[in-house]
Chains A and B, each alone.
Chain A
Amino acid sequence: MKDLSVTLSGVKLDNPIIPASGTYGFGQEFLPYYDINILGSLSFKGTTAESRFGNPTPRIAECPGGMLNSVGLQNPGVDHVIAHELPELRKVFHKPIVANISGFSIEEYVNCVSKLTKEEQVEILEVNISCPNVHGGGMAFGTSPEAAASVTRAVKEVATKPVYIKLSPNVTDIVSIAKACEDAGADGLSLINTLLGMRIDLNRRKPILANVMGGYSGPGIFPVAVRMVYQVTGAVKIPVIGMGGISTARDVIEMMMAGAKAVQVGAANLVNPYACKEIIEQLSIEMEKLHIDRLSDIQRV
């Protein structure tokens, strides 16, 4: 019997597989495909203080090895999430929940964290300072060490659960930002968010996305994610959740060998609704081949 369990800041997960925010809604869309209680955890759709429609369509473009999205944090707002989405999720999901939080000001992050930290079953607060699809916020907090540190300090004041800061890869030096978050009191880090990209429709001679640019995700960004997780885990002591293009059980093992304590699966859920289920089932088989008994033994090569 293989041991797939991992622990994040004292939160024990049966396995390291967490669907990534924005690719799994609040779990409901996957119920027709499998019992979502097989997951280690679930990071729900990025939530802001007020409801947001997001960006105009088209919001999706294809590229080799992945896709671009410019959804722009569409969500019903934190109060609606607490009143409706979370109760519905708790009915069908009985594992720890990662609350993903976005904002356009430090006050907004604090507002959302102070509400979601009180929610039963929410065990980790994942603070997204790296959304590339919104202006005047999101990624603006994730591209300078000072801004990242000030968000971290402010949310730590009100958080009663571990705070994980979700970092952007669209920076010159991700290590300096990771360290700034650690110094400011972050309990952990999530990385990477999507890479800023763009596609052009040759027939229309116009950008495919209405918002012109969008976030690139999918297997094409996996090597970038592995590199950044390796760099960051070499420089900080706090745990890192690794993500970016993970599509197979072997990717999970590779990401953990790079230093991640757990992983998130994103775009893969969108092209194959069974992705997380298949990865979890395959993990023990790959561990057997690689002579790994406990997944938590392989972190950081």
Chain B
Amino acid sequence: MLYRLVENTQLTATVWRMKLEGDTSAIKAPGQFVQLTVPGFYLRRPISICDWDDTTITLVYKVVGQGTETMSAMKTGMELDVLNGLGNGFDTSRCGDKPLLIGGGVGLPPMIGLCRQLLAEGKHPTVLAGFNTESEVFLRDAVEAMGAPFVLATMDGSAGVKGLVTDAMADLDFTDVCACGPLPMLKAIMNATDKPAQLSFEERMGCGFGACMGCTVKVKGSYKRICKDGPVLDREEVIW
């Protein structure tokens, strides 16, 4: 399906925000992703959905290679071929009253749509974000605009709590966890709390809709395709 690029703004040295206009009816849950065709590249690029409304999708992405580099140079007005609403996303009905939403670096974007959804359901989410240093921080304003608490941890202590997200967790009161970020961060969170958790995983993908088996991982008792059966897995099924 075709979408019109209406915004492509740089947020930090490596992170950009892209807004696409088009049909968003395929999006069923926060934490789903899109597969974006980037001119000049054969495979689509899987990017998590940061937030959406009836006509717009917001993607916040990090430039990590040639594909995302090309994305960052795209001009507004151009049309993009996008497969929308892929993956399972977070199940907000399984969240408690005070969910802690943890995003590590570029794992933060899906927490925005999730936070908005939880607030709409009358729950009381807190967003906890981990970065290396203050200049890397993004999306703080998006969380605060929704009226949700935003807790920050930076490795060098230049903003918020000094250290890892797990160092900031100790002082927070929460019922359960939704998290997205690097694997070592997810592991550390699991060591820091026994509470229920939905975790979003990343894997190199082929198709993004379950056909190629390119992103399969072993979980307890079976296999799962990160693109189709994930990217969100329950902590109880993950093999660490």
Contact = CB atoms under 8 A, between A and B. Distances in A.
A250 interface: no
User: Among A62, A67, A219, A267, which residue has the most Cβ atoms of chain B within 10 A?
Assistant: A62
Contacts of B206: 59-60, 67, 69, 270
Interface string A71-108: 10010000000000000000000000000000000000
Most buried by B among A74, A267, A270: A270
Interface in B161-216: 203-207, 209-216
A271 B205 contact: no
Contacts of B44: 271
A63 B40 CA distance: 11
Nearest to A25: B211
A219 B42 CA distance: 9
Contacts of A63: 42
Contact of A269 (B41, B205, B207, B214): B207
A207 interface: no
B2 interface: no
Nearest to A30: B211
B214 A60 contact: yes
A30 B67 CA distance: 26
B217 interface: yes
B42 A60 contact: no
A271 B207 contact: yes
A222 to B, nearest CB: 13
B209 A64 contact: no
Interface stretch (A50-58, A114-122, A139-147, A280-288): A50-58
Given A53-B216, A53-B218, A25 B204 contact: no
Contacts of B148: none
Nearest to B227: A29
Contacts of B240: none
A23 B211 contact: yes
A60 B211 CA distance: 13
B208 to A, nearest CB: 8
Contacts of B228: 29
A197 interface: no
Contacts of A270: 43, 206-207, 211-212
Nearest to A202: B65
A24 B209 CA distance: 10
Contacts of A54: 213, 216
Contacts of B213: 22, 25, 45, 54, 59, 71, 74
Contacts of B37: 271
B42 A71 contact: no
B217 A57 contact: yes
Contact of A58 (B204, B207, B218): B204
Given A23-B207, A270-B212, A271-B42, 13 more contacts: A24-B211, A29-B209, A30-B211, A57-B214, A57-B216, A58-B203, A59-B216, A60-B214, A62-B41, A67-B43, A69-B206, A269-B207, A271-B37
11 contacts: A23-B212, A25-B211, A57-B214, A57-B215, A59-B216, A60-B43, A62-B42, A69-B214, A218-B42, A269-B207, A271-B207
Nearest 4 interchain pairs by C-beta? A270-B207, A60-B214, A58-B204, A29-B210
